[in-house]
């Protein structure tokens, strides 16, 4: 698998939270050669299963979320203008003049309207415009015929290759995690002998409700789970704490709601295989599917692996492909030897 091409393909799939069906079917097709069974459930989750053939073997669930932040049409106005509402954590400061794709029956181009600086009144340049006061301009005189209220909208940014092995795109949160799981499974195809079953959950609606991880994990009810997500990458203008250099490998979560034995085993595996890693201290609820899955049913022992990412929840998120590969390598090495038993 060429990780850069995989990321480009995944990031081109539209999947605003609650509207994941098209992307789910595409990811299911990628999973089928790597799993024994694959299905898309009625919540938009992709569920895969790969048995090890051992009786009473325990199951490890690998999760990454498929959905992305975006918008939904709330009103279609005369002149081709749209009012819209955010879906997920959208920062209004970076929306003006942003290019978007309206996912009507036929995808349509639009741009978030912005006032030229020449026409702004004194002091207006320093104020963020509330989302409910913004408009999307489609230029369509017949917009009311083509666009319905409730239509999802995504950023139009397409993946761009940067220098230094970096890639820039919308929704690398968390298509980078999806790519890491796909790569780990591809590596496992060559490793015939395993001691645990592997379940895969490419989950829906992480950005808004956590519904996908909750229902998907409940359907599988594994003994163990690893959530794969992104974490904040280091930039010159950002904070110095709680951020990670791109190229530093997986950030392994450490905290009260993450299983200590599973976390220690991942650290041991990274050290044994010379995989660079960092420790990310999580004080409580991680804000990821790790927490959502941990409290499902009678409880699931859960760990968290994160990929450093710059500019999270923007159209120009950036990751380094080597970090995605290192997360995949760590999961692969871990699963080769994992026998379903860890210390507390």
Among 254, 251, 304, smallest CA distance to 283 is for 254
CA distance 197 to 54: 8
SS3 of residue 223 by DSSP: coil
Supply the DSSP string of 33-98, one letter for each residue: GGSSEEEE-TTS-EEEEE----TT--EEEEEEE--B-EEEEEEE-GGGEEEEEEESS--GGGTTT-
Cβ neighbour number for residue 79 with a 10 Å cutoff:
11
Among 67, 35, 63, 331, smallest CA distance to 216 is for 63
Rg (CA), the chain: 21
Give residue 71's Cα distance to chain centre. 17
SS3 of residue 170 by DSSP: coil
CA distance 203 to 177: 11
Enzyme catalytic residues? 206
CA distance 59 to 122: 62
SS3 of residue 278 by DSSP: strand
Q: Residues 30-67, buried b or exposed e (16+ Cβ, 10 A)?
A: bbeebbeebebeebbbbbbbbebeeeebbbbbbbbbbb
């Amino acid at each position: 698998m060429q990780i850069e091409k995989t990321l480009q393909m995944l990031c081109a799939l539209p999947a605003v939270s609650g509207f994941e069906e098209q992307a789910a079917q595409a990811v299911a097709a990628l999973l089928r050669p790597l799993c024994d069974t694959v299905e898309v459930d009625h919540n938009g989750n992709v569920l895969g299963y790969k048995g090890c053939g051992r009786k009473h073997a325990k199951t490890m669930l690998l999760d990454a979320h498929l959905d992305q932040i975006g918008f939904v049409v709330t009103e279609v106005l005369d002149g081709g203008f749209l009012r819209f509402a955010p879906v997920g954590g959208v920062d209004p400061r970076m929306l003006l003049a942003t290019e978007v794709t309206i996912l009507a029956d036929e995808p349509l181009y639009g741009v978030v309207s912005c006032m030229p600086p020449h026409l702004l009144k004194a002091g207006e340049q320093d104020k963020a415009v509330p989302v409910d006061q913004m408009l999307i301009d489609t230029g369509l005189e017949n917009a009311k015929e083509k666009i319905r209220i409730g239509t999802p909208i995504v950023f139009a940014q397409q993946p761009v290759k940067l220098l230094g092995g970096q890639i820039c795109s919308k929704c690398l949160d968390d298509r980078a995690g999806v790519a890491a799981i796909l790569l780990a499974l591809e590596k496992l195809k060559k490793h015939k002998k395993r001691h645990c079953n592997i379940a895969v959950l490419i989950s829906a609606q992480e950005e808004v409700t956590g519904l996908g991880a909750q229902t998907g994990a409940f359907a599988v009810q594994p003994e163990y789970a690893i959530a794969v997500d992104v974490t904040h990458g280091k930039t010159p203008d950002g904070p110095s704490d709680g951020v990670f250099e791109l190229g530093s490998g997986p950030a392994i979560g450490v905290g009260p709601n993450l299983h200590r034995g599973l976390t220690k085993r991942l650290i041991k595996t990274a050290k044994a295989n010379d995989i660079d890693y960092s420790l990310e201290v999580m004080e409580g609820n991680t804000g990821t599917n790790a927490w959502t899955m941990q409290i499902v049913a009678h409880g699931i022992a859960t760990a968290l692996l994160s990929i450093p990412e710059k500019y999270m929840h923007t159209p120009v998120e950036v990751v380094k492909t080597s970090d995605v590969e290192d997360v995949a390598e760590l999961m692969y090495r871990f699963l080769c030897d994992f026998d379903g038993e860890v210390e507390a």
